Structure formats: C-alpha cells, structure tokens
Amino acid sequence: MMELLKSLVPCVEGHLKNLRATCENRQCHNTQLMRSIPGSRPGIRVGTAWYCCIDCFAMAACVPLERLSSLKVVEIPRHPRLSLGLFLLSKGHLTAEQLRIATAESQCLDEDVEQTLVKLCMVSEKQLAAARSAQWGYPVLAAEYVGQMVEIDIPKAILNACRAVPLHYSVTAKRILLGFSARVEHSFIELIEEMTRCRVEPCFITPTDFEEQMERLAMPPDYEEVVVDDPGSPEKMARTVGRTAIQVAAREASFAQWRDFVLVRVAGKRGRADVVFHMLRNTDVETGQQSGIFKEAIAV
Ligand SMILES: [Zn+2]
C-alpha cells in the first residue's frame, strides 16, 4: 500500500521527506505519519535531536540524566600566585603576628584563614575583596553597579552554591557582570555563558554585597526555577522534567551539570523553566568542579 502511495505521489513524498524530522526516541509509539507530518506537532529540540512529543522527550531524557547524575566530580585545584594572608601582609593591612595568630586559629577551627581574619576584625570584608581581586586578577565591583535591581533567568540555587550573583545584565549587549564573593569559578562562568548565551565578566564583591544583591534579584515573569533536593532515580528525574516540560509547553531543552547539580532547561510557548536537581552525591573531600553542557542527541 505504501509502495503504491509512494509511486502515486512522488512529489509530495519527496517534499515531506525534506521537511521530515524523525523522532529520536527509538521506542516512539507514534505512527510514522504522526511522527513525520511537518507542522502538525512542533515537538521538542535537544541540540540537534528532535522528539515528537513530551513523552518521547522524557523517556529519552533518562539517558543524559543518568550519565550526568553519576559523573564523578573531579578536583581541578586552582591556586593563586600569592596567598591571601601574604598579600594582606605585603599591603600592610596585617602584621606578621596577626597573620600567625589568625593562621593558627583557622587551623584549629578548620576554616579558611580569610574567614578567621574577618571574624577577628583583623581585616575588613572590603580589604579582603580587594586582596582577592589582586590575587586573581579580576576587578572589584565598580561603584556604578552597586545596588542595581537585576531581572535574570538564572537559578538562585546555583548562584547560592557558588556565592556569585549578577550585578548587571544587559540584554542588548549580551553581557552579565557577575560578582563572586569567595573565588572566581571558571566552570561556573562557562555554565552561565552557555545557559544565557551572554558574555560573563567576573568581579569580586564582599559577602555582604552578595547577600544584599541576592535580595535585589528578580526572576522574569515567564520563568520558573524548580529545585529538586531529592531527585531519585534517573527515571523519576525524567518524569519531573516531563511535568515541567508540559507546564511550559516545551519546544526546546538542554542539559547541563555543575558541581553536584544537574540542570535541565526547558523553554516553550507558555514560558521557561530550569529544573535544578541537587544530587547530594558522595564526593571526595578534596572536591572541585568539572562541568559540561551536554546537548547531544539523547536517543534511547
Ligand atoms: Zn516520538
């Protein structure tokens, strides 16, 4: 029968073939006709892959979710040229005796020496931010960006985890000024650049600046952040993603991983959402970051 149809309508068939997107889910239950009529179902794109419906997308999503949630977090330590204590000492913000006391105290309490220095009022947060700036070679927050309201679609859960916050966001210039209060994490910059398609410019801010700016952060009205602290199996995660995809009438999706977070961004007719899975995986004590954005086909 198909053969007959083909021979009868070769032009139409050829035309359909050109426009045809085939569902990447190999277990797709939709008929060939439903899967291939262009325009009848917009489907969901994940990188170069296309899924005919949310069911197929969610089924296929198990594969990247399983892989991303089991990725080993590998430490890539980055040490600045000069230790913060020695830098503060060289600038005269600190005496050798103060540094010795603070170092001993920090070792006792098993905390960072900079934390101890601020706690003991030996240096101010601002001096510390300036020292970090010199240490890492990034500027401190410029005065004109202090106190700006920022509306942006980045999950607060990951901003909090990195202690980083957008201070300025220009949609036209496609640029985000991102303030880090502890250290500049390149894996995080890469993640935000990939998610937003904007250029990220890092700078240093104080922990107080960070807390205050987080309060000024607003989310666009068509955007939602869905945080899942107990993600469960990849299948359960995929169902969560599927529900969010239905909510936004998803047309596009992408997967990413950073530290112990697995992120799925979905966008569609009714809005956009980030599903943020907090994996609570067991990592080695000396953990660091290795992140990646994964947008390849997720065929089952
Ligand atoms: Zn399908």
pLDDT tens for 57-112 read: 999 999 999 999 988 766 565 666 677 888 888 888 889 999 999 999 999 998 88
Structure tokens at 138: 């990034």
Compute the distance from residue 128 Cα to the ligand 1 centre, in Å.
55
pLDDT tens for 132-163 read: 888 888 898 877 777 889 999 999 999 999 99
Length of the chain counted residue by residue: 300
Of the listed ranges 11-25, 190-204, 217-231, the one predicted with least confidence: 11-25
pLDDT at position 114 is 84
Neighbours of 129 (CB within 10 A): 22
pLDDT tens for 206-216 read: 999 999 999 99
| Strand 150-151 versus strand 292-294 pairing type | unpaired
Tell me which of 14 and 74 has the higher pLDDT.
74
Compute the distance from residue 35 Cα to the ligand 1 centre, in Å.
6
Compute the distance from residue 127 Cα to the ligand 1 centre, in Å.
57
Choose among 62, 8, 7, 1: nearest CA to 32: 1
User: Above 50 in pLDDT, residue 10?
Assistant: no
User: Above 70 in pLDDT, residue 41?
Assistant: no
User: Above 90 in pLDDT, residue 290?
Assistant: no
Residue 198 in 3-state DSSP? coil
Q: Which residues contact 278 (CB under 8 A, 6 or more apart)?
A: 157, 227, 228, 229, 231, 260, 261
Compute the distance from residue 56 Cα to the ligand 1 centre, in Å.
5
Structure tokens at 234: 């990849």
Question: How far is Cα 27 from Cα 13, in angstroms, rounded to an integer?
Answer: 24
Structure tokens at 215: 């309060």
Residue 2 in 3-state DSSP? helix
Cα dihedral: 16, 21, 22, 24 (round 10) = 180
Compute the distance from residue 17 Cα to the ligand 1 centre, in Å.
17
pLDDT tens for 231-246 read: 999 999 999 999 999 9
Which whole number is the average pLDDT over 1-10? 45
Compute the distance from residue 59 Cα to the ligand 1 centre, in Å.
9
Provide the CA 225 distance to its chain's centre, in angstroms.
12
Of the listed ranges 12-21, 77-86, 217-226, 258-267, the one predicted with least confidence: 12-21
Question: How far is Cα 74 from Cα 287, in angstroms, rounded to an integer?
Answer: 6
pLDDT at position 253 is 97
Which residues share a beta bridge with 274?
Answer: 225, 265
User: Above 60 in pLDDT, residue 292?
Assistant: no
Provide the CA 154 distance to its chain's centre, in angstroms.
7
Compute the distance from residue 31 Cα to the ligand 1 centre, in Å.
9
Look over the chain and give the mean of its residue pLDDT values, rounded to a whole number: 83
Compute the distance from residue 229 Cα to the ligand 1 centre, in Å.
30
Quickly tell me which residue has 């950073």 as its tokens: 258
pLDDT tens for 168-215 read: 999 999 999 999 998 899 999 999 999 999 999 999 999 999 999 999
Q: At 11, is the pLDDT very low, low, confident or very high (cuts 50, 70, 90)?
A: very low
pLDDT tens for 116-131 read: 998 899 999 988 898 8
Which whole number is the average pLDDT over 41-55? 88
Q: At 14, is the pLDDT very low, low, confident or very high (cuts 50, 70, 90)?
A: very low
Tell me which of 38 and 136 has the higher pLDDT.
136
Compute the distance from residue 264 Cα to the ligand 1 centre, in Å.
19
